[in-house]
Structure 1
Amino acid sequence: MFVDSHCHLDRLDPNSGSVDEALKFAQSRGVKHFLCVAVSVKEFDAMMDVVSAYDNVSVSCGVHPLHQEDACSRQVLLEKASDQRVVAIGETGLDYYYSEESKAVQMTSFIDHIHVANELKKPLIIHTRGAKEDTLGLLEAHLADHTQGVLHCFTEDWDMAEKAMEMGMYISISGIVTFRTADALRDVAKRVPLDKLLIETDSPWLAPVPHRGKPNQPAYVVEVAEYIANLRGISVNELAEATTDNFYRLFALCNKTS
């Protein structure tokens, strides 16, 4: 059985089918659980309206580094993220590749998210691109010993992955690993210890080969798993079992029975 550890069900294109259809298709392929990740606290309630009826969908709460127009105070984040349905904080982090001009605001937001995760004892979901040193530096400076998290949709180098894992982070691989130009990521996907690996779609974006260029959906986490299993020379079942176990270990508030 598989888990899609990072998707945006509220962002699926309705022209490609309903959320209900997407989840049923994924379940027919053996995907048992889904983590719907927030990109805006302001839109959190709307996201919940989309997914709250599904027992096998968990949620996070946070502000994506590229959505700083929706930034909120630490107190507002704390209040929203205290909801018992929220299993993780984020996605948060730093993205200088697309928005270096908002660096200072992103850093303040990231620090707030780390402190809220520390206080609520919920794991972090971290987006990082083009910001290796600051991401690692802020985690080292502010992360509590008991707080873990994941560097989702990982696209950085092995050095960053290794240093993040030393701080209790997991590494999540998306469909990017199937892209022709992703040699460095394939090296990371082969080297991450199996007990630190997660898989995701980040749907509706970044559909894996052979679906590249089409809207992504949670069912395609199976293609991600198959590709990584082949890279590592292990069975898909072994990879699925390990990444599912890792998911429930990290996101311990998720309902394992759904």
Structure 2
Amino acid sequence: MLFDTHAHLNADQYADDLEEVVERAKQAGVSNMVIVGFDRPTIQKAMELVEHYDFMYASVGWHPVDAIDMTDEDLAWIEELASHPKVVALGEMGLDYYWDKSPKEIQKEVFRKQIRLAKKVKLPIVIHNREATADIVEILKEEGAEEVGGILHCYSGSPEIAREVVEMNFYISLGGPVTFKNAKKPKEVAAEIPLNKLLIETDCPYLSPHPYRGKRNEPAYVKFVAEQIAEIKGLSLQEVAEATAANAKKLFAIK
């Protein structure tokens, strides 16, 4: 009953063994996953996957690192895809101040355009944040993003900011880092944010949980994330799996 809300099975890292990876996910109890596209090639591949696998859904958007490359045609294409029955969110979008490929002002502009599009097509948004928390929260407020809500994916910020965005109709999604021994903030967030506002993800092929840290991640490993949250909250794995899956289905309007 696990729902991996953020997977990149559209990445080249799975070119040789996708079927085996999917099978392992099923064996681990993963019932649904969202495949995230963030540029032309990855969106295209995400759409192919969700049309092939009935338990996969897609989120389509433009990554902030590549914001400088996004054209009006790309935005129009994303709008077109938003009406596809298996597209359940827009993103990942947001701000990334770690890499400097795209100037900050261009990132902000592209982020705002995608939030406005999400409000137009009535889909939640999936947010990528790297070293840009204050600006992201400000833009979400200014653009009235709470109208559609969404996810702060692979959340690594403070419990205080988490509480603030939860009040703005957003879910907090935790991934592999919550299992790391030295990861203080994600563990605090897992403890403090109510279960009905938490989601789980892998962000595979990145950020593998312990004990696979440093190796290629895959959806089957989302179980380790759920187990860690269960341990922190004093709940059973089943309770965390069922609650986070119900949260995801509610957010993504999946029957």
Please give the TM-score of this superposition, normalised by the length of structure 2: 0.93
Q: Which amino acid aligns with 1:40?
A: D
Q: How many residues align?
A: 253
Structure 1 residue aligned with 2:198: 197
The CA deviation at 1:115 is 0.6
Q: Distance in 2 between matches of 1:227 and 1:235?
A: 10
Structure 2 residue aligned with 1:54: 53
The answer (yes or no) to whether the contact 1:87–1:251 under 8 Å persists in 2 is: yes
Q: What whole-Å deviation, never above 9, does each CA across 1:15-70 have from its counterpart, x for those lacking one?
A: 7x522211111111111001001111454223322442100000011011112254
The CA deviation at 1:145 is 4.9
Gapped runs of 5+ residues in structure 1? none
The answer (yes or no) to whether the contact 1:63–1:91 under 8 Å persists in 2 is: yes
Q: Distance in 2 between matches of 1:185 and 1:197?
A: 12
Q: Distance in 2 between matches of 1:165 and 1:59?
A: 23
Structure 1 residue aligned with 2:3: 3
The CA deviation at 1:122 is 0.5
How do 1:144-223 and structure 2 match up within 5 A? 144-223=145-224
Q: Which amino acid aligns with 1:111?
A: R
Q: Following superposition, which runs of at least 4 residues in structure 1 exceed 6 angstroms of deviation?
A: none
Q: Distance in 2 between matches of 1:5 and 1:87?
A: 11
How do 1:13-24 and structure 2 match up within 5 A? 13-14=13-14, 17-24=16-23
Q: Distance in 2 between matches of 1:61 and 1:139?
A: 18
What secondary structure does 1:37 align onto? Answer: strand
Q: What whole-Å deviation, never above 9, does each CA across 1:168-220 have from its counterpart, x for those lacking one?
A: 00000000111233111210111111100000000000000001111000000
The CA deviation at 1:160 is 1.3
Change beyond 3 A, Cα 1:43–1:192: same
The answer (yes or no) to whether the contact 1:66–1:95 under 8 Å persists in 2 is: yes
How do 1:100-179 and structure 2 match up within 5 A? 102-179=103-180
Q: Distance in 1 between matches of 2:164 and 2:149?
A: 13
State percent identity of aligned pairs. Answer: 40
Structure 2 residue aligned with 1:64: 63
What secondary structure does 1:97 align onto? Answer: coil
The answer (yes or no) to whether the contact 1:97–1:129 under 8 Å persists in 2 is: yes
Q: Distance in 2 between matches of 1:42 and 1:218?
A: 21
Q: Distance in 1 between matches of 2:146 and 2:205?
A: 34
Q: Distance in 2 between matches of 1:49 and 1:145?
A: 30
The answer (yes or no) to whether the contact 2:65–2:101 under 8 Å persists in 1 is: no
Gapped runs of 5+ residues in structure 2? none
Change beyond 3 A, Cα 1:86–1:72: farther
Out of 202-211 and 33-42, give the one that drifted further.
33-42
Structure 2 residue aligned with 1:36: 35
Q: Which amino acid aligns with 1:6?
A: H
The answer (yes or no) to whether the contact 1:94–1:107 under 8 Å persists in 2 is: yes
What secondary structure does 2:37 align onto? Answer: coil
Q: Distance in 1 between matches of 2:71 and 2:232?
A: 41
Q: Distance in 2 between matches of 1:155 and 1:34?
A: 21
Out of 140-149 and 154-163, give the one that drifted further.
140-149
Q: Distance in 1 between matches of 2:173 and 2:210?
A: 17
The answer (yes or no) to whether the contact 1:38–1:62 under 8 Å persists in 2 is: yes
Q: Distance in 1 between matches of 2:228 and 2:42?
A: 34
